[in-house]
């Protein structure tokens, strides 16, 4: 009985020792792994030039910015203009035009909305003017 107990203990100890050496990860391995494939998590800020003036003819002081995450294909569009000249339909048409051009430039075929579009009107702290902000959140697929 003592021999069986000693044998089981030896097998158990060798199994524990083997698993710790097989599945152990050194700090050097972790840094190589983390710097390799996860470097694309960054968000790229893209200023869009206003070549869409025919889609928003009444809006003035228009600024369009995209926040693009290459790893996931997510894009957030930020559209702002003076609140007195803001029209939701024009902002939506401009967003769709920007998304279509963006998909064509980056090789995407489809885009889907991740959240409902949001519109806010508030005073800009820099210029002291009432501005309208339209935000759209989509993700692209190939």
pLDDT per residue as tens digits for the range 68-96 = 998 889 999 999 999 999 999 999 999 99
Other residues' Cβ atoms within 10 Å of the Cβ of residue 118:
10
Can you point out the beta strands (E) in the chain? 44-48, 63-69, 74-82, 110-113, 118-123, 130-141
Per-residue confidence (pLDDT) for residue 23, from 0 to 100: 54
Per-residue confidence (pLDDT) for residue 127, from 0 to 100: 83
Asked whether residue 106 carries a pLDDT value surpassing 50, the answer given is yes
| Per-residue pLDDT reduced to its tens digit, 118-140 | 999 999 888 889 999 999 999 99
User: Residue 24's pLDDT band (boundaries 50, 70, 90)?
Assistant: low
The predicted model gives 4-30 an average pLDDT of: 63
Do residues 67 and 25 touch, judged by C-beta distance below 8 A?
A: no
Q: How far is CA 9 from the centre of its chain?
A: 52
Nearest to 67 by CA among 94, 90, 33, 41: 41
């Amino acid at each position: 009985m003592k021999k069986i107990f000693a044998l089981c203990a030896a097998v158990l100890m060798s199994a524990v020792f083997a698993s710790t050496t097989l599945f152990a990860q050194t700090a050097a391995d972790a840094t190589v792994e983390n710097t390799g494939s996860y470097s694309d998590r960054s968000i790229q800020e893209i200023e869009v030039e206003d070549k869409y003036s025919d889609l928003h003819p009444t809006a003035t002081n228009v600024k369009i910015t995209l926040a693009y995450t290459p790893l996931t294909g997510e894009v957030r569009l930020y559209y702002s203009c003076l609140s007195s000249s803001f029209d939701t339909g024009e902002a939506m048409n401009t967003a769709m035009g920007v998304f279509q051009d963006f998909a064509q430039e980056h090789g995407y075929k489809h885009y889907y909305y991740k959240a409902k579009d949001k519109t806010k009107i508030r005073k800009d702290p820099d210029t002291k003017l009432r501005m309208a902000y339209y935000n759209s959140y989509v993700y692209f697929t190939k």
